[in-house]
Chain A
Amino acid sequence: MNRRDILRRTAAASLLAVPATGLLTGCALGGDDNSTGESAEGTKSEQNPLGVKEDAPLEVVIFNGGFGEDYAKAHEAMYTEKYPKATIKHSATQEINKTLQPRFVDGTPPDVVNNSGAGQIDFNGLVSQNAIADLSELLDAPSLDVPGKTVRDTLLPGVVDVGSYDGKFLVLNYAYTAYGIWYSTKLFTDKGWEYPKTWDDHIALCKKIKASGMAPWTYAGKHPRYMSWPVISTAVKFGGVDVAKAIDNLEPNAWKSDAMKAAADAWYQIVKDGYILPGTPGLDHVQSQTEWCRGKAAFISCGSWLESEQKKVTPAGFNMSVAPTPSLGTGDKLPFEAIRGTASEPFMVPSKAKNQAGGLEYFRTMLSMKGAQDFTRKVSSLSAVAGSTQGIELPFGLSTVVKALDASGNNGFNWVYNNFYRKLERELVDAACGEFFSGRTTPAEFLEQCQKGADQIAGDSSIKKYKRS
């Protein structure tokens, strides 16, 4: 056998090792649905309202992302303080999906899962397969350290809504995020600019900024869905919360409502007049945020994780602030202060978890005042627990988030289509935004493309549909 034969045979063998096809099925379909996974239960009492079995082990899997895993270790320590006989198995990963998929199939998932990050498991898939336990018992349990209140009473508005599917509370979103437009307070003070409250003022300021040699806007060009947030926010403030509800419920022509048209037309102005940093469509989120921190652009759309994500490159004294989208006019249904606020960072207890009661109790620990304050201190993010920032010194950006949320109050709004139908935001609206903000489509074509995406989801019988009221 000479060298050529060896090469030839290697080639033949490589035929069998064709790309990733085998990868998908690394874990096979399991056998029958074994309903033997009886959850560990103890006796319920005043001290133990969820019926935790004291010595039942608890397994917690944390997404190791921007928040790290230390906050979770602290919560676990609080749990074992109350149940010293329980052993806790802690693990952290960046790939929740790949790590846990086989265990869901096998029927042996962990008790607590922080299903977050780019490797997050699609919630539509989980909910439609009844893979997540109902958390409503948790809501009615008394709070761990706020006397006289149930856990439900301690939560910020919207926390229950955003974790509910068809009225059932399944997902605890532990952090609280505001989505808005960010700018550097220092830059604006130095230049004598003021954050505009109306659209006309916004355009006028953009003109001024551009004249000063700086680009008014930049955005995450490779994740252009970041720009769908201010557009939909503008529409919701103009036309009321029903605009968002129609989109969430996949109503026909929801994306082409008058409010969405007005908002898209308004935002098209910044594209038309060249108020976007050249090259932005080629930047990913970190690159664009870095350009913004370097003072190449004045505004960027992002959620309140921005400050900690940019910590390493933000110049001292930059003092980033969040602000709501400008009002379109005096006819707006919601005031200028209204901002999109929503609970984020989803946690769940799988329905086949061995220690469900323990999982719920772990959430009760997280949602205690002590647990929430510890979280805010450790990761510089708001938690879902109301009033838990009191007495904590917050970094500049986060303090503006608290102020913006306070000012917004009952006018705060949110949408959930991105939770219901991940593909719609991540792929379809994303692509439409990319075309629109790089100037390749008109507002009408943009909305048409979004609507087409929504119709595609609506017409796909293999995707479970949810209603929001």
Chain B
Amino acid sequence: MRHGKYPLIITFLVPPLLLYGIFVLSPYLQAFQISTTDWLGYSPSANYVGLENFGTLLRDGALWNAVRNNLVLLVMLPIVTIGLGLFFATMLNMGGRRGVAGVVGVRGSSVYRLVYFFPQVLSVVIIALLWKEVYHPNNGLLNATLRGLGLGAPTWLGDPRTAFWAVVAVMVWSNVGFYVVLFGAAMQAIPRDIYEAVMLDGASRFTTLVKVTIPLLWDTVQVAWIYLAIAALDGFILIQQMTDGGPNHSSDVIGLRMYNTAFGSETKFGYASAIGVVMFFLTLSVAVMALRAARRDRIEYS
């Protein structure tokens, strides 16, 4: 086996690296180049303008408004999604009362698992359409229920106070299922004897979760955190489909700003690339910080 190692590695590694280089890395490098030009996107000519685009960007109120929304997302989305994901995964995997060691799921957990995972199989655009109807102020499911309960019926997507949060709720809804499955899989891998020992020591369920399960899941939570942070800096498709950044820019995000600057209401590709470059560094630093902050001693149990 030894002697065939390098040809094998090269055959399997070179094509993907080549593709990655051409279709992922080179556009990035070009984005950096384009962000220093005033390219308008429909002719090959562009002038070098240095860092002017980045200067404009600093004074662009609409962009800062979008950045603020992304920062709110960055805080809210991972906390809520991971919190809910952990809760549901715990319930599905060790919430039941049957059995000796308290490590079975609640009754019907296989059905719940399916229900939670359901949003994952839908395309984001379909999710957006679905929820647009749910939020329909007059005929929507949500307001019909609220009216039935005798409560007020807000115009969810038409009010600057609620539009953004209504979309955030959908973001959480569509993400939670994946993390339930991810955390669930990690929980299955935790040896049962640990739980038996904890039970014998008389620990409550909550203590078991906080002191045993979560520490043992930490690596997985960390991965979830990074994924969600990246998702929080994007959020483009749902926002574009559901509110298009409105009303009055209240639900704008950086991705939508970039799209509208290049393809939507203007054709400033140079400036849009500058926004893209800023987004790149934002995402990169967030990911690095998340990795650093979440670093802990690893627990091995094999």
| A residues whose Cβ falls under 8 Å from a Cβ of B | 2-4, 7-8, 10-11, 14-26, 28-33, 97-98, 101, 104-107, 119, 121-122, 124-126, 128-131, 221-222, 224, 277-284, 287, 291, 296, 422-423, 426-427, 430-432, 434-435, 438, 440, 462-463
Contacts and interface: CB of A to CB of B under 8 A. Distances in A.
A435 B42 contact: no
B260 A119 contact: no
Nearest to A22: B27
A352 B95 CA distance: 67
Contacts of B160: 440
B227 A14 contact: yes
A19 B284 CA distance: 11
Contacts of B263: 97-98, 101, 119
B248 A434 contact: yes
Given A19-B283, A98-B263, A104-B42, A279 B138 contact: yes
Given A19-B230, A19-B283, A24 B272 contact: yes
Nearest to A351: B43
Contact of B249 (A19, A33, A104, A431): A431
A427 B66 CA distance: 14
A198 to B, nearest CB: 31
Contact of B158 (A30, A130, A279, A431): A279
In the complex, which of the residues B44, B264, B273 has the most CB atoms of chain A within 10 Å of its own CB atom? B44
Smallest CB-CB A-B distances: 3 pairs: A279-B137, A281-B158, A125-B267
A84 to B, nearest CB: 34
In the complex, which of the residues B135, B246, B272 has the most CB atoms of chain A within 10 Å of its own CB atom? B246
A25 B273 CA distance: 8
Contacts of B249: 431
B47 to A, nearest CB: 11
Given A19-B283, A101-B42, A438-B158, A222 B223 contact: no
A30 B157 contact: no
A296 B39 contact: no
Given A33-B44, A97-B263, A11 B34 contact: no
Interface stretch (B111-119, B169-177, B274-282): B274-282
Given A279-B137, A283-B158, A104 B27 contact: no
A462 B34 contact: no
Contacts of A284: 132
A121 B267 contact: yes
B170 to A, nearest CB: 14
Contacts of A26: 27
Contacts of A24: 27, 31, 34, 258, 262, 269, 272-273, 276
Interface in B37-89: 37-46
A119 B267 CA distance: 12
In the complex, which of the residues A14, A17, A25 has the most CB atoms of chain B within 10 Å of its own CB atom? A25
B82 to A, nearest CB: 14
A52 B61 CA distance: 51
Given A3-B189, A426-B265, A427-B260, A107 B28 contact: no
B292 to A, nearest CB: 13
B264 A22 contact: no
A22 B24 contact: yes
A126 B40 CA distance: 9
A17 B220 CA distance: 19
A427 B138 contact: no
A441 B46 CA distance: 41
Interface in B134-158: 135-138, 143, 153, 155-158
B155 A291 contact: no
Contact of A431 (B33, B39, B155, B248): B248
